[in-house]
Structure 1
Amino acid sequence: MTFQDQTPPVSPALPADFSSSLPPGSSIRHILLGYPSHIRQTIHLLHNLRYVETSQWSPLIEVPDNRLILRPAPDEMISMLVRRM
């Protein structure tokens, strides 16, 4: 019996300025939804990974009445990751 190598491929390091790798005029929106301490922790993690400066995030915003509506532009899609803290 033979086994395939299950080691995930090594991904290249993220560029210091991710926006420079996007086509002109395009953007991606990142939304962090969770407990404030977890949001801050994730913001600092992304900063430590040189993905984005902490100052580029908005202040924490309370979700009124626990309701949130996302309005995508035509042809936009969504992908979601839930990470247990």
Structure 2
Amino acid sequence: MRCPVCGTEGSLSPLGKLVSTTPHGGSPELRFKRRNAIHSEPTFTAKLARACGKCGVLLAFLDFQQRSTLTTAMDELIPYDRG
């Protein structure tokens, strides 16, 4: 498969399971800020991923329920600052 970030063909790993190394366990989470700060930050749990051996990008996959929630909240989400 071709990496969607760097475009290298055949560089993506097989599908792998994302695991947490924190003491409380759980899967890695993706969080966003909302335009309306009154509401909590939407959090999405990814359980599966692929990695690119060329550029190192990690492509996490959400399940159907998580994707539906993300789609519903998409217009309210704003990015985190990199700093």
Q: Taking structure 1 as the reference length, what is the TM-score of the superposition?
A: 0.26
Structure with more of its chain in helix, by fraction:
1
Q: Taking structure 2 as the reference length, what is the TM-score of the superposition?
A: 0.26
Bigger Cα Rg: 1
Structure with more of its chain in strand, by fraction:
2
